[in-house]
Amino acid sequence: MTNASHLIKQSGIAFGTSGARGLVEQFTPAACCAFTVAFIKALEADFSFGKVAIAIDNRPSSSAMARSISAMVQALGYDAEFFGVLPTPALALYSMQNRIPCIMVTGSHIPFDRNGLKFYRPDGEITKADELKIINSDAEVVTPENEPELETLSAAKELYIERYTQHFPNKPFSGKKLGVYEHSSAGRDIYKQIFESLGAQVISLGRSDQFVPIDTEAVSEEDKSKALNWSKELKLDAIFSTDGDGDRPLIADELGQWLRGDILGLVTAKYLGAKLLATPVSCNSAIESSGAFKQVVRTKIGSPYVIEAFSDQEESLKPYAGFEANGGFLLGSDCYYADGLYHALPTRDAVLPALVLFNEAWSKQKAISTIISDLPKRFTASDRIKDIPRESSLSLIDKLANSEDVRNELRQALVIEGVLELTNEIDGFRMFFTSGEIVHFRPSGNAPELRCYAEADTQSRAEELVELALAYINQISNI
């Protein structure tokens, strides 16, 4: 017998911007049990519950982790409800509506040799303070000798489908041809049901039996080509996809151009009538220049920080909404849309942005590209350096923050005409130049990567800034 904090520390698994992440081999049965015990014990003082909901993504390692978690839940005297492969927001919705905690086994978009755990209290995502309680828990852990066979329940899936279909009896997507890029997404079978119920002709694309690590913030050249070809050959009105666990959307317009997540979020929040918008510092400045919101709160990157921004806000600013640059949309308060009430779902979700965008475009006989073209003309791009230790990323950012010579070298490498006007260290290091261009470096909270974001007046210039910035970082760090 040993305590949870010892096992968690020994495992090497750490919390990032969204859940605990680590290598597959680190998620041993003992480690999974330790996280489960620490999580449940952290809740018992404040919540009364008899069940814990559990779901997984399509990673090869996720089922075994779920069995260990279920065994530990039962050993602690609670019922374990297993919902099989399911999008994270669908599990979160079920959890919040039934006032029970849940654990999602997923590594989201990171490679299949890694995995993770996301935790939800009965009232929503755990906070950063909850994370500290979990990793410092002194609860004793006795790993169960036997693990149960998991029986898959369907109630969470049915609830999620109902959320997005019940208010549209007239099938508003009739006559539209929608491609669903399924790959290995946890929600690939659900999305077809939702969009067909709304009247669309759905064409399944790119289904894979192997796990595909789709990153909605850094779309691969291969996926860019796929979208262009699919749209042209199949004459699609749009393409819908998500990351691995279905909390981050990836949507292409009728031309096969993938939309940036922050632009998608801006459109969604605008048409939902959000008055208060919370969004990370890395998101497009068109948010402010659109004039669509009474108040915009800029946060650190990560859904817990966006959710925190909803706290203690004025009632007059409802509905609250938020989103991240990866496209994940958070509904911070109840909201009416298209004659229907949508209860708050303050966790990243991929379906609501698609529903709103498609409905706004197609109900008004507009192309999606037209909806997007009506927004202020600011363009963003992002990419990353992979396999770089977090410590190295932090060291590079420290050089930028503390050395004027390094900043000047970077500006010259970027071929920026303006001078550095302002910096922001809310999350990483963000630089604003008098030319109107923005460059932002930040270590990923989920993987050993250094991310770079850029903003400019044209898409080609934003992409060039990212390319030049990462080339400079490679040069000075000898990666």
Residue of 11, 68, 108, 444 with catalytic role: 108
CA distance 69 to 114: 17
- Residues contacting 283, CB < 8 A, separation 6+: 262, 265, 298, 323, 324, 325
Q: Which residue has 């031309």 as its token pair?
A: 255
- First-to-last C-alpha distance (Å) of the chain: 43
CA distance 27 to 264: 35
H or E element that contains 164 = helix 155-165
CA R_g for the chain: 22
- Residues contacting 225, CB < 8 A, separation 6+: none
- 312: how many CB neighbours lie within 10 A of its CB? 6
* Pair 167, 340: CB distance under 8 Å: yes
Nearest Cα residue to 52 out of 28, 27, 33, 69: 69
Nearest Cα residue to 143 out of 6, 34, 9: 34
Residue 209 φ/ψ, nearest 5 degrees: -85, -10
Active site residue 204: no
Q: 146: number of CA atoms within 13 Å, CB side?
A: 2
- Residues contacting 293, CB < 8 A, separation 6+: 269, 270, 274, 275, 276, 277, 287
List the catalytic residues: 108
